[in-house]
A = this chain, B = another copy of it.
């Protein structure tokens, strides 16, 4: 089954990583894949455009079926291979409600991290304002404190919505990204604990990004958030 899958991915992209974690969890190792370089703009190549008109990574095919948006790929794979590998959507209504909620909050978190870590990259020179970057940092800090609160209420050894689920698949790469760019372990102890709990999970370790896209705001772009 996995041999009929093809993933085009970029290293250090949380959306790409989510798909790779899901493929590992669903025991779909052996899928075809190709690492493309963001720096060389290979995500804008004809090879990507044929499958993904957005010229973005991940780009994913399963046989003739195309699903590119990362959360959509995860939902598709979990529903298509329900009884294979880890169960990534829990059965109980309460866990399911929480799972969908945290999963979607995790989707929206990306842009908030990017708005700080990649501020210069995303904003043309003449349009940059210290006040805007400061506001983005404050909004990100408020956001991350929310997650600290969520994790405060999670039972010891438990994950975002009880058992390991798509909520963690979507969220964890964002957390790893945040700590890679030097988010403070002291200011966000619950996030740091969550990171430690998951970083050696086999699916995550097996798909760990070999490198991260450098940010013009520095390798410690998140240190004072």
Indicate whether A39 reaches chain B with its CB closer than 8 angstroms.
no
| CB proximity of A119 to chain B, nearest CB, Å | 13
With a CB–CB cut-off of 8 A, which chain B residues contact A79? 96
Indicate whether A149 reaches chain B with its CB closer than 8 angstroms.
yes
Q: How many residues of A contact B (CB 8 A)?
A: 38
A65 to B97, CA, bound (A): 7
Indicate whether A42 reaches chain B with its CB closer than 8 angstroms.
no
Copies in the complex: 2
A124 to B130, CA, bound (A): 12
Indicate whether A101 reaches chain B with its CB closer than 8 angstroms.
yes
- Given known A-B contacts A126-B129, A131-B124, A72 and B53 have beta carbons under 8 A apart: no
- Flag A113-155 by CB within 8 Å of B: 1 or 0 each: 0000000000010110101100100000000001001000000
Indicate whether A49 reaches chain B with its CB closer than 8 angstroms.
no
> Once the chains bind, are A103 and B72 in contact (CB under 8 Å)?
yes
> Once the chains bind, are B100 and A67 in contact (CB under 8 Å)?
yes
List A residues at the B interface (Cβ < 8 Å): 53-54, 62, 64-69, 71-73, 75-76, 79-80, 93-94, 96-98, 100-101, 103-105, 107-108, 111, 124, 126-127, 129, 131-132, 135, 146, 149
